[in-house]
Structure 1
Amino acid sequence: MDHSTRHLNESLNWGFINHEQESPERYKPKLLLNDRQNGDYILTPLLDELQHCLSFTFSVAFITESGLAVLKAHLADLHARGVSGRILTSHYLKFNHPKTFRELLKIPNIEVRLTELSGFHAKGYVFRHPGHSTIIMGSANLTAAALKTNYEWNVKLTSFENGGLLAQFHAEFDKAWQAATPLSSEWIEAYQIMYTETRKADKKLQAELPPLPENTTPYGVLSPVQPNKMQRQALRNLGALRESGARRGLVISATGTGKTYLSAFDVKSAAPRRMLFVVHREQILNQAISDYRKIIGGPDSDYGMFSGDRRDAEAKYVFATIQTISKAEHLSLFAADTFDYILIDEVHKAGAASYLNLIEHFSPKFLLGMTATPERTDTFNIYELFDYHIAYEIRLQEALEEDMLCPFHYFGVTDYRCNGELLADASALSEDDRERRVDYLTEKIEYYGHSGESVRGLIFCSRKAEAAELSAMLNARGYRTAALDGTDSPEERERRINQLEQGELQYILTVDIFNEGIDIPSINQVVMLRQTQSSIVFIQQLGRGLRKHESKEFVTVIDFIGNYQNNYLIPIALSGDKSQNKDNIRRHMKDTSYIRGLSSINFEEVARQQIFKSISESNLTAFKLLREAYLELKNRLNRIPLLMDFVENHSLDPLIFADKFPSYYHFLLRVREPVPSLSQPEQQVLTMLTGEMLNGKRRHEILLLDMLLKQGAVAKSDYLERLRADGCRVGVDTLESVMRVLSLEFFNEQARQKYGNTPLVRQDDDGNYSFHPAMAEALRRDDYFLQSVSDLIQTAFTKNEQYDNKATMTLYKKYSRKDASKLLNWDKDGTPTIFGYKIKNGTCPIFVTYKKHENIGASTKYQDEFVNAEVLQWSTRSRRTLQSEEVQLILDADREGIELHIFVKKDDSEGPEYYYLGQAHYDGKSAVESTMADENGNSIPVVHMNLVLEHAVESKLYGYLTGD
């Protein structure tokens, strides 16, 4: 019986006989649910299976455009690999929209048929893999709601090709398939007539029903002029802020979440004698006035405009552009106390002189600032301007989760390749290649499509000339487009926007003028044809399509990704992750389940690899970036941040400081903060704690130090009790290892010198713990040193939350050779002697760099490769034979009681840390002796063998490690 058959048998036993039996995750039967709290969605395993399959078969009654959209990028990759599939569906209840069927016809590697079976309601997904198939069956149709938000039950099963259940499925499917009608344009046209007639009948029935009460919808909910959940909480906070005596407040709210309505509700609540509303573009004013009238009401004469040629200075509610009202001659028309309430929209611009002049001139009872992006790259402190009063904050992820925004489907698409190469600058293309590029762009735009009957799109270009040229080329192909740039008048912009909204135009092409301050709710497609220079600008442009509108179910975002250095900003922007931690960013590329609601994030494979390349090559810890992030948090807090502040405010990962500086204290010195001076020994202690404790990879040391800080001395029995209470391993070897680390005995001489060569902790003859006298004295004497140590320990606790303290090491977390030496309880750091592997103390950590650098020596270019997600083909060191002692020990590891621990990283750009893949066992009789060439071309022996992992590598990590 091979290992795959054995593992499947174990999994079936686990699923149907005894769940306490050990079983590999790969084949386990699973109940698939949508669990928002844990980030589990039915969509995730479905996409995993689709990504790696040889073919697929779907039987689904209902399909929506949004459900189909989440598959499109994966289907495009499969098409490139020659993989195709079949979908059997129906027109049951006339649920499926004709446009959905048209979208299906666009996908070249899917064959679709329509069954006439009465009451067809089947939902099943089958994916064929080498040697086995995966079946997902249950309640989920191919809709975004079913795959991400609905309460659904689905079972995932694995079957070998001779499995009876699989045979039953195929027999039943094939019977229905043979009797079904192939999807065609002609069929869709006929269905369109039936669908339209059904909808007309529904509308006629609706018209015959009694009229709805005022201010309700057909669903019985209050009309949009009632505050939403976010607005209600923000209004409570603003009211409490004013009651506390505050005169200024800041609202940070994602684009499209209703900041203008919120401000109108708050004005209505505050009931000012007069109010001033300030914006930076005249186009916004009319919409703002209209929104305020809906909320506040009153005569038209209450609402005035102060912009351009309008001077309605006496109105109760004045709506002004900053360019007009900030002029000295205009400010002089108003007394300082003219307005009780002033609001500034897009207030992140308020560092400009025009805004500061206005703010200094007036003295309202309350000043409200509103922005989606308070972050600034200059030294101006927007938080200080509003007295550090953040009344409310909701960012993109939260707004999506609360269903306040239109869902989006983001597609990271490979840009046009010229002679197989991705270019960083499209202007270098020849005329023929420019034509081919436009053909490629339109092909992708049509493939990924849009929600609703007609496209209303924005295309962001990198240069004015590109926007103008591309608009002309698209028009020549029958599209209706116009290019706009900063030189166009407000009237011209307004005219073009109206044309887009009325359907006279399909696209507006621009560079940056629509990044913010423009409201076109019907936008259903956003196309990005420029490299991402800023995560803030990226979200601003994405946000142009996020306002809800009756004409669309979702917005399609198509991002053409070329060979750009800043591609790493894309996952940063989409996830909102400000940690600057490359592993975090890679994780957001491997797993996009962090996106909430009905939205999805999808990358074509080549585009995905371009971003991984950008992450590896970027310098995310450049001092300039760290300083900017530090100042942003300092400005928000109005004090020097602690390490824990970065954690609690979702800012920089504190480990970034450990990568670049001996400690956070040294960073503060670099940015010239007036922190208290620490002695050299105190600095060395912080260096040790930063380098060895902050990552939180073992709780034992952190816990002991925390107890010592709070108690001064710790009895061994109390320490053991706390370890057990925290679910930590308790063994003599581990406890001895903890003391070797805290006494510095574990480290080599160079590290001990760096860390001060003085133990932090000591044990008495009874095994009780206390600080070393020098450490204890420093903590008593220096409050700032005590604060710094305490901050480090508390931050380390938060880092430790991601680790399984019951296990030696946590599956799929990253570890260095030094980490492995410590956690395997070696007496010394084995980094200088491990190289690829080392047998010691009944353990053998094996470190594999999957993609070897071209410049490494020939004698170290080992042939390490995954056979599949469970089996690693591994090579020993060169100059080893089957008779070598260390080789024999590895072959007999199970019998000798030697644990083989596998660590793999993609390439050297990931630094010194490797993903831990768990323990492995030699696959008997797979070892073969071979030869390889050394640097001089001479043949030298090497042994190859298969190592079978106890846990099949998680699919997303496996795809990342093995992907090109």
Structure 2
Amino acid sequence: MESKQALDPGLYELLITTGLAESVQSAEERGFLTPTEDVDDEDVAHVLTQHVARTVEQALIAAPREDRIALANRLLQTLPEAPMDPSVSPGPRLLTSVSTPDAPRVPRPSTPLSDVALFTNSRMDPQLGSELRLEMASADRIDLLCAFAQWSGIRVLESALREAAERGVPIRVLTTTYIGATDRKALDHFVRSLNAEVRVNYDAQSTHLHAKAWMFHRSSGYTTAYVGSSNMSRAALVDGLEWNVRLSRLATPSLVDKFESTFETYWDDAAFAPYDPDEDAEYLDALLEKNSGRSSSPSLSISHLDVRPYPHQIEMLDDLAAEREVHDRHKNLVVAATGTGKTVVAALDYKRLRSSEADQPTILFIAHRKEILEQSLRTYRDVLKDGAFGELFVGGHKPVRRRHVFASIQSLQQAGELERWARDHFDIIVIDEFHHAEAATYRKVLEYFTPRELLGLTATPERADGIDVAHAFFEGRIASELRLWDALSADLLVPFHYFGLADGVDLSGVRFTRGAYNITQLNSLYTGNDARAGKVLQALRDKVTDPSRMKALGFCVSVEHAHYMAEVFRRAGLPSLALTGDSGSDERQEGLAKLRRGDIVCLFAVDLFNEGLDIPMVDTVLMLRPTQSATIFLQQLGRGLRRAENKAVLTVLDFVGLQHTNFRFDLKYRALTGLSRNKLERSIRDGFPFLPPGTQIVFDRVAQDIVLKNVKKQLKLSTRDLVADVRQHKPEDASPSNYALGTYLDAAERSLADVYGPGTRSLSGEKRSASWSTLVDWAFPATREETRSETADSLLRRVGTLTHVDDPERIRAYRRLLTEPTLPAGVDTDLYAAMLVFSFWPSGEHSVRTGLEQLRAHPAVVEELLHVLEYQDQSSRVRPARLSGSAAQSPLRSHARYSREELLAGLGLGTLDTGAPGSIREGVKWLPGTSVDALLVTLKKSEADYSPTTMYRDFAINQDLFHWESQSTTSVESRTGQRYINHAARGSSVVLFVRRAKTGDIGTEPYTCLGTAQFQQATGSRPMQIVWRLDRAMPAELFMEARAVA
């Protein structure tokens, strides 16, 4: 027996075996801690395979050569019977190829197809160019991803590429115009001589693709790939000091899967446009010239390319459509950081609003500067492919046709101008920089015209004077808000490095009401606090490359504080100014001019730069005041996120003190990162491992401790604190009995998870369901009604499973079933009724009618459900659509969310088909009653944040195509496999349901119905890899979660 393994201090991932357990015990006896954790269910097979493979390899190496095959076969015979006998034949020998008798001999790469290798262009390595030529000789498809392609690289590989092309091997190339290094001659040759498909990303500003990779697909399954530093150039392929890793489908399947899925996602990304030398050569040449620095041409026409929205812009367009179609709201505000394409969204929205090409609704686009109007008009013309669209009304330009007018507010304010237009002349009015709307000039225009649609665009809904235009003009609603994370991931903004730094100031005793500190008390703590100011200066020296050359904004708590900080900086040799609301317009402009020129390095202000000023050169933001408001925090951060020449990153220094117990860090950090409640705490603790490229969030030890304790408290709010919060936010004119759940959630900036997340709550020895009625009873005990029965409380615990209900038709159906005086005669076959009942009794303990009668017998349960449904009805952005094919009679709708119980019941399980939804645990279900295959997909199969072995089985290729892996036992020849492939011919339907993870903020996460799908192609067997084409494009928000590329 092997002696005990010595365990030195460090990180391990060792499977606990009987032998290792003794080593663990020994380490513990020596005083070491040896924490263990369960292997995730999704990773068990992989972890056991690794362990068994290592153990078997050691045993085979140790065995005599003549005994090795027999030993291997004895091990294999202990396994369950396989479709093909795996016993090893005498030898052992390897099958190396299968070919027709007249086929020429195919050369093999130097590295075995099942192996991995690192190539460094050293004397001991095969030359990369030579190895690539050998790989091409046996490839059935070739994919190349490179930042740039040059003719010198083509020459090195020409013979092998041409031979592959002559064999009919498909060749795909993805490249960019980055730094203008690509040779057009190389791309022309790929297309014209090698019959390759080439796609180019023309946006060099926001796309910095540095990847260099080849993949050689083989029908035999022995696919190989190369990932490394070598571009398509002679130096990189022959004699450069380049490193490249060779991957293999057999040795590194998860990495090859990731390569494939990522390449396919890039290939279908609208950012990569097909390259046709006959159509695009001139445009490519101009961009290569410009991006190489050989030309400074400022404006290139992009009208020959379709303007296609990014996924985040599609989501914004869908939000607008939902506000109009679902909620009948026709005054809408869009909030997005400057430079992220708000005008493109407005133009695409206008295009959507047209009923046909000939339909041209009248539009008035209002801005305050001629430059904005000219740029906006060009955007509309590019989107609509109409160079004659629209007229300017600014600076001497007057509209003649008067149908599509791009006007300055100053032009509209000329004496008698408004009266020349009928009030309903414009179907659509768009106002850019809508935060100006409170000004008398804008308000006059808004009050005069009566458009069919009003669209406001702004980066800053909260103005410096405290007015929130969302509340002033849009009933407090923001129709769509671009998440900062999405804009950073799309590379529309400069990345930021955020540092949370402890400043040593204790704010726990400062008066804090309605989400804000008392300004007078803050001012006395900060102004004149030289110790804190010294920490600010030291942080600048530590974090900013050269503070004497920075262009910074500092946000202060008061005018006095701003002047104090400016003086501190000047004494430290950093010329600075303080600007306030009292500063005149000329003084403000001069201050900005000084910052641009470098005469000063920092401008300090209170709220002056929260909104309304376009200052892209800012590269440093100092947050010198505590800010709980997520909106103000993002507005301050946004002042520095604009792209500018020679600006690689925005540095953000946020000074954190010990906060009041009611201060909430979670609001701004969730807004900043877009993370769920569960993930935020872990990310703060682990240093935010998953961020957009180039972005960093770093806390010092003290600040991390302050923030983490605060976030833990807010995300796991004690019942006593939550009850007090409910009491505090009740409107004065509302009684406890008509205090609505939605009213509280909006006022307190809480979510449904705060109310329903725990399942049960306890207060003063009483344990009850986690529900709105429980919180109201405890917050206002004087108005509490009769004691709740155990049955009612048990049912209330299930209400949390319906907090996802989001489509209007289902909400109306559930309300009707809960409130109509009597149940209809056919309720037992009503699928909506079955969905509701199985949500409470998943295993089918009651018939549909009995279950509904049970629910209706408990008024507290009905009222609770109505609160949830009302809140969801008002906040939902879903635009549901009926399913097609054999699923057309189902009440399920595409893009709506469903629990497993709801979706299976909605497809007839428990009514049309025998069984109960609660008994189904698999991710697939064939429902013969409706002839539907329901495919239930969980994208993140492992509970770990990152699991490379399970992440690339199911993913979105684009919004229309979804890659899905069947169960491991499904073969192409099986009845199930054939039904998947031939479903259209056989009259059955496939419906896809997708969720991000198994659990969310309120227990089990619901699925989003993607709707019916059509079989596109299949590869592999046991399991099958199938690509489905969705009948309706998947929602943009879910696509950004489901695609292989974040």
TM-score range, shorter chain: 0.3 to 0.5
Could you state the TM-score of these two structures normalised by the residue count of structure 1?
0.44
